[in-house]
Structure 1
Amino acid sequence: MNRRHFLLAATATAAFAPGMSHAAGFVTYRDGLIREALAAGQTVFVDYSATWCSTCKRQERVINALRAADPAYDAAMTFVKVDWDDFKSHPVTRARGIPRRSTLLVLRGEAELGRLVAGTSEADIKALMRKGL
């Protein structure tokens, strides 16, 4: 098994571990999840979204298409969806100064590698995702 296949298999196994729920290829946020993933050395792509938000839906379609076209994204990052309606006043949102739903972040360690607020262009989202590679 080559390294890339191993990383893909390991990521899939970790992402779909028991006790974690998923929304369209994203791990659904639970308290402490992002902090734990960062402490474990993972790069985390965070999508602050709401089920009723049309901008969020467009972002999700673009993200999923980019992930399907290039498996390197899934090998390099953990994708986490934070439900805006449940966590808009929570420290996971306030501590990072998230202004609104439809905010996307790429995090590694203590650093924020990039952020996109309400952007839906494929080029902008791809540029953000590439920061996590």
Structure 2
Amino acid sequence: MIDTITQPVLPDWGQMLAACWGSANNDDSDMHPIVKAVTKLATIGQNDNCRAELISEINSWVIDWVPGLDTLGDTVSEFTNYIVAARIHVEADHASELDMEKLANAWTQVVAEVEAFRATLLRSRQRQSATVR
């Protein structure tokens, strides 16, 4: 599957923020699978069973597209926790932005690293295919 996807494996910051803020597109038929999971993660609180199941779904999606990244679900879950915490502070009328810019930059870096890793895997596969021929 690694060589068939043209869009990023992970959603961008805007999609993550919308999912955590509860403003993601209601029609989930074309919603990124990780955005679907993050939307649920943002609403379940600390229900460990549901959280573990969603993290597993995220890991399964990522592994299908980028073999070797089998713990990325935990990273997505942590980002979700931080974004939800920021939302709660904003809704409680606290002036703190909990460094949303740093969160956005960090998430963007995670997405870039996943895409770079995927590109490396794809090039490696292409080289292996070329030498087999």
| Bigger Cα Rg | 2
Provide TM-score, normalisation by structure 1.
Answer: 0.30
Structure with a larger share of its residues in helix = 2
Structure with a larger share of its residues in strand = 1
